[in-house]
Amino acid sequence: MMSKINTSMDWELAARIFSGEASKAERNNFKEWLKHEENLAEWNDICKNMSEVEFALLSQKIDVEQAWYNVKQKTKLPDNRSIRIWRTGIVAAAASVIIAVIMFLNPSDKTTAPANFALSQTSDSIQQVGLDDGSRIDLNRNSSIQYPSLFAKDKRYVTLSGEAFFDIAADRNRPFIINTQQIKISVVGTAFNVKALPNASLNEVCVREGKVLVSSLLHPHNSVELAAGDKAIFNMADNSLTKMKLTNNNYIAWKTREITFKNEKLIDAITLIEEVYNVSVIVPEKFEMGNKKITATFDKYTIDHIMRVFGGIYGDDFEYRHN
């Protein structure tokens, strides 16, 4: 699903960032530029378009890496010295290719999926998506995933906006690749959760089974390998990938409704419950949140039961409303 391109962005800079050709000074200036909310939204839109362009090229069985190599070769001087990249050379070519392909895919700025692509979207409910290779995806509320009706012979490629749990069928000959606006996730066969909300500065990957490779779209060499029980957080502000151990399974509570709090801050517990049950918790008017903490386990309980438990623990009436 293509969105309208914001032409106020410097496309040559976008191409340098994506191709890894930007200088350190440019990258630092870019990080400062991203601190403004409107700029962050604009860059996320560009990343989304770039992901979909690569997705479209792959669906047409075009070797993207070879295509980039060919562009680079055509922009070298006879003595193999690289041309300085501004309006000539690889970045100008890359920028032209990016714009041309996006315009080709989306000539009238209509919201549509390319031919032979399927698009699944959710609003206020969770949806299960089955892929032609036997993989299963649970798509959280307010999320979307785009994928080909039939995968290619050498790769399985999808794009995600929002949150989803992936249970990927093993196929060593066809890696499964997921692009969000900020990161790329590569697997062979595994089960894991990806949280990549639109315009969010943080992306999160949590692995339940198997191994997963997570890399930055800005700098592909910036990557971490995760095993079962690992978690990675990508921070767009500094392009960092942090690997850590999972301490519970709350990352998948939106799907299982199994929640465990162990000396957790009450404010954080309430935030998670709101996400899982799609509600807004109404805290008693004179209730002092402070640094209150909670230790409790909820296994597929209703939101009414959880509110009663809160009331019993804190001696006050907690209410909620559906979003």
Do residue 122 and residue 193 come from a single domain? yes
pLDDT of residue 64 exceeding 60: no
Together in a domain, 219 and 278: no
On whether residue 318 sits in a domain, the answer given is: yes
Domain encompassing residue 161: 117-245
More confident position, 88 or 209: 209
Same domain, 122 and 150: yes
Largest CA-CA distance found in the chain, in angstroms, rounded: 79
Question: Rounded CA gap, 257 and 315, in Å?
Answer: 25
80 domain-assigned: yes
Of all residues in the chain, what percent are helix, strand and coil, respectively (each to 5)? Answer: 30, 30, 35
Q: pLDDT tens digit string along 212-270?
A: 999 988 778 889 999 999 999 999 888 889 999 999 999 999 999 999 999 999 999 99
Q: Measured between alpha carbons, how far is 70 from 101 in angstroms, rounded to an integer? A: 16
Report, as an integer, the average pLDDT of 30-51: 69
Q: What's the pTM?
A: 0.70
- The residue type of 52 is E
199: confidence class by pLDDT, cuts 50, 70, 90 = confident
CATH of the domain at 315: 3.55.50
**Chain segment 120-165, per-residue pLDDT in tens:** 999 989 999 999 999 999 999 999 999 988 898 888 999 999 999 9
Q: Are residues 53 and 168 in the same domain?
A: no
Q: Look at phi and psi of residue 80 and say left if phi exceeds 0, alpha if psi is from -120 to 50, else beta.
A: left
Count of structural domains within the chain:
3
- Give the per-residue pLDDT at 218: 74
What is the DSSP annotation of 5-45? --TTS-HHHHHHHHHT---HHHHHHHHHHHTSHHHHHHHHH
Share above pLDDT 70 across residues of the chain, in percent, rounded to a whole number: 70
